[in-house]
Amino acid sequence: MKILVLYSGELGRKVIQNLINPGNFCVSCGELCNHCRQARKSYANLIVGIHEFPEDLPTFIEEPDQYMPQKLPECDLILAIGIHPDLLVALPDVVKKTKAKAVIAPAEDSKKTPAGVLEQLRKELEAMGVEFEGPRPFCALEKTGKPVIDAFVDLGFGRPVLRIEMSPDGKMFIGAGVLRDAPCGSTWFVAKKLSWTDVSDYKETISGAHHSYPCTASMDKDPQLGDTILHKAGYIIREAAEDAMECARKEKARILASSRNEASSSSL
């Protein structure tokens, strides 16, 4: 897969760093760092181009081509992150030039990335036979049967999936790992903060870690969600932890049942 990143703002920078996975990207543990992210592969080799747009562009852009890079590499997937709405509208032309098969344009702020613009973009791209997703927020991205976008999720980016270990009495998290990361990289941060904390405090632990990463989603109410996108992102990582906790409990119950069956069989 060849990925072209067009971005503006902090989220784009975090996504790029998370894809590349340099040693200095995550500093959550300071001197206590155990380099847990080193086991995660770098996808720097998949990035064929990066272009950052200024954040102080005019309110209205009549000729988007003036701001687009003159040379764009061929690619399979375009990540359009936080870019001006008028530049989003111009993406079909970029798709033609790059021969892209898919576009992901996440919405972290409904004012900067209006739902109407994304819907217009969706219709134009799908009419061209190009895959499109506009997750709200980026960490809401899931597999939908679209081959290129699903392949991006399969790399390990999208709606977070955690693996959690709990103490024998089920009262403490003794470990947490990342099976699928939020594109911004926050899932590793949350997983690290969960380790060696009380299970009963998991909501507060996750909320604190999610905010202090920090999440870049807007705190303004989103008309489509009926809530803030920041809150939506918080619910997503909390649900990921709850799913992982349930899996851990089921696995414990399975092991106990297996042990009892073995003990019963041996006594016969």
Q: How many CB atoms lie within 10 A of CB 48?
A: 17
Q: Which domains does the chain have, with CATH numbers?
A: 3-154 (3.40.50), 161-266 (no CATH)
Res. 264: pLDDT tops 90:
no
**pLDDT tens profile 106-152:** 999 999 999 999 999 999 999 999 999 999 999 999 999 999 999 99
pLDDT at residue number 31: 72
**pLDDT tens profile 71-90:** 999 999 999 999 999 999 99
Token representation of residue 228: 């803030």
What is d(CA 215, CA 235) in angstroms, rounded to the nearest whole number? 12
Cβ atoms of 233 and 209 closer than 8 Å: no
Cβ atoms of 52 and 69 closer than 8 Å: no
* CB burial of residue 52 (10 Å; 0-12, 13-18, 19+): middle
**pLDDT tens profile 193-216:** 999 999 999 999 999 999 989 999
Give yes or no for a cis peptide into 58 (omega within 30° of 0): no
Residue bearing tokens 């067009």: 6
What is d(CA 118, CA 106) in angstroms, rounded to the nearest whole number? 9
What is d(CA 264, CA 131) in angstroms, rounded to the nearest whole number? 55
